Structures are given as C-alpha cells and as structure tokens.
C-alpha cells in the first residue's frame, strides 16, 4: 500500500460571467481510499454546488466571474501499489445474458461509431480468442495502429477518424478500442482520471489527466489501457461514461481561454508530507 498526492490547477480567463460544469473530483467509488479529500477551491472564492450525473460521476457547478479564475484541488489517496488486475480467465457473456444496465455500453455514441467500424472490427478480430484475449488483441492492435502525440490532439476527433489518421492522444486510443469492443459485442465504457508514472522509465511526460476504458468480462468491469498497453500502478478514477462527451473535465458555457493547466499524481514524499497541515486546513 502506498499514498499518492493528486491534484491540478486550472486557470481560465473569461470575458464575461460564465457558467461551468466541472468533473474534476475523484470518483465516488474511490471514497474508501481517500486520505485527504480533493476539495475544489477557487480564486476568487466562489459558491460551488454539486450533483451526481446519470453515470454516478460527481459534478460541480459554478459561475466564473469576468477575468481570471483559478480552480484547483489537492488531495491524498491510498493506492494498492499493484498494477491493474489481469484476469485471463474472464469470458464475455452472450448479449442475451448481459445485465440490462450494461447494454448501453454496447451502443454507438458520439465518439464511438460502431456503425462505421463494425465490418472492420469483425475482419480484424473475428478469429481472435473469445473473452479477455479478444479485448487484449484489440488493445494490441490499437496500441500499434495509433501514433501518440500531444500535437495530434483534436477535441472533435472520433474513433473513425483516429482509425483512419493513425495518430492521436490517449482518448483516441480509448475511443477506438471501445468501438471495436462494442462491435464485437463486448460492453465497454470510457474512463478518465489520474495516472502516475510509478514503475515506468524516465523521461516522464508532462502531468496530465489520462483516458482509458473498462470492458465487461466475467460479470465485472476490468481496466484496459490501449495507449500504454501494460498494467499500470497508481490509476485513480475520476469519471466514467459512454465516451469522452460524457466526462469532460469542464463544460464551459461561454467564451474562455485556458491560461494554465497543471496536473500531478505523485507518490507521497517527505516534502509532500510536510504540506499535510496545509492540505488538512
């Protein structure tokens, strides 16, 4: 067991008062692991209200004033210190045997065009082994098919476009893998959150939120990450949905400019422990 310091700082500049809906807190399912809550703070201080959306994500509402606003959070969460589980035994269920609540994750969605990619998926994966091995085959293909680069980020890019362009960021890897899974009758849902660099080799990339997905196998949801394509340590869920359209870090209802974006997911060290009094205040 280890402890991670998680948090972010976002600075927006708005020309006029601007309503915002934010999805920036740790997912409620992670509550038992929270050591210090990642409470949202704003400068200037603003009233914030909360609600839970249809997928169980915690959402925050505020109205940013004209000018700059700093939105941040800083917290501590316990982590098992072990990589994402691997369950080679896990099989997919026949569609008629799936629980009703997971059927929505078989359908096409904003960024996951199952209708456009179905024939391609079956041509690629029809003869792959059933169950876990099929999802892993999909992740292997996507990992090798898409070239990663922040310069390839495009907020409107869909799975179809990512497949044809062969380049993108982590959300594009996840969207394409999700679409292929759904085409193969495997429920899959998009996830976003923190991901540490624990167990990886430097140089480390800039701090950022990560996108991955979960597939429904063996009667439960399992994590898959086609961008990295290896089990990782220090993954902290923030939100789940059909695709990235359901889980944006912010929905901003007006013109704005992002002036600063910083994310951290770090093992607790002596220096971070020294800041505990500030976190707890």
Tell me how far apart the alpha carbons of residues 276 and 74 are, in angstroms, rounded to a whole number: 10
What share of the chain in percent tops pLDDT 70?
Answer: 96
Q: How confident is the model at residue 274 (pLDDT cuts 50, 70, 90)?
A: low
What is the CATH T-level fold of the domain 95-246, as seen in this structure? C8orf32 fold (3.10.620)
Instruction: Please state the separation of Cα 21 from the chain's center in Å.
Output: 17
The chain-wide mean pLDDT, for the chain, equals 95
- Domain ranges across the chain: 2-79+248-273, 95-246
SS3 245: helix
Average pLDDT score over residue span 210-237: 97
pLDDT tens readout for residues 85-133: 999 999 999 999 999 999 999 999 999 999 999 999 999 999 999 999 9
Residues recorded for the chain:
281
> Interhelix angle for 132-145 vs 114-125, to 10°?
110
What share of the chain in percent tops pLDDT 90?
Answer: 91
Note whether 2-79+248-273 and 95-246 share their fold: no
Question: Is the predicted pLDDT of residue 273 greater than 90, yes or no?
Answer: no
Q: Given this model, what pLDDT does residue 198 score?
A: 92
What is the CATH T-level fold of the domain 2-79+248-273, as seen in this structure? Immunoglobulin-like (2.60.40)
Residue 195 pairs in a beta bridge with: 235
Average pLDDT score over residue span 177-194: 98
Q: Given this model, what pLDDT does residue 204 score?
A: 80
Indicate yes or no: pTM above 0.85: yes
Question: Is the predicted pLDDT of residue 216 greater than 80, yes or no?
Answer: yes
Torsion of CA 4, 87, 220, 77, to 10 degrees: -10
pLDDT tens readout for residues 66-90: 999 999 999 999 999 999 999 999 9
pLDDT tens readout for residues 26-80: 999 999 999 999 999 999 999 999 999 999 999 999 999 999 999 999 999 999 9
């Amino acid at each position: 067991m280890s402890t991670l310091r998680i948090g972010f700082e976002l600075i927006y500049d708005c020309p006029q008062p601007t309503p915002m809906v934010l999805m920036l807190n740790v997912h409620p399912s992670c509550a038992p692991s929270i050591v210090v809550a990642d409470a949202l703070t704003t400068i200037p201080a603003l009233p914030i209200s909360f609600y839970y959306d249809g997928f169980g994500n915690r959402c925050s509402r505020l109205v940013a004033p004209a000018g700059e606003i700093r939105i941040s959070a800083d917290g501590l969460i316990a982590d098992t210190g072990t990589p994402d589980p691997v369950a080679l035994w896990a099989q997919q269920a026949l569609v008629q045997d799936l629980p009703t609540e997971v059927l929505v994750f078989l359908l096409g969605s904003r960024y996951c065009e199952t209708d456009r990619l179905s024939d391609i998926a079956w041509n690629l994966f029809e003869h792959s082994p059933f169950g876990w091995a099929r999802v892993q085959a999909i992740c292997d293909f996507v990992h090798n098919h898409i070239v990663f680069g922040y310069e390839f980020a495009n907020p409107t890019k869909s799975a179809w476009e990512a497949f044809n362009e062969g380049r993108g960021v982590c959300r594009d890897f996840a969207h394409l893998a999700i679409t292929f899974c759904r085409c193969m009758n495997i429920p899959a849902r998009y996830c976003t959150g923190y991901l540490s660099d624990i167990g990886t080799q430097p140089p480390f990339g800039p701090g950022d939120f990560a996108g991955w997905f979960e597939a429904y196998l063996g009667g439960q949801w399992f994590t898959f990450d086609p961008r990295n394509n290896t089990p990782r340590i220090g993954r902290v869920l923030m939100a789940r949905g059909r695709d990235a359209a359901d889980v944006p870090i912010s929905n901003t209802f007006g013109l704005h400019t992002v002036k600063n974006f910083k994310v951290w997911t770090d093992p607790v060290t002596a220096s971070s422990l020294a800041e505990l009094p500030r976190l707890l205040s």
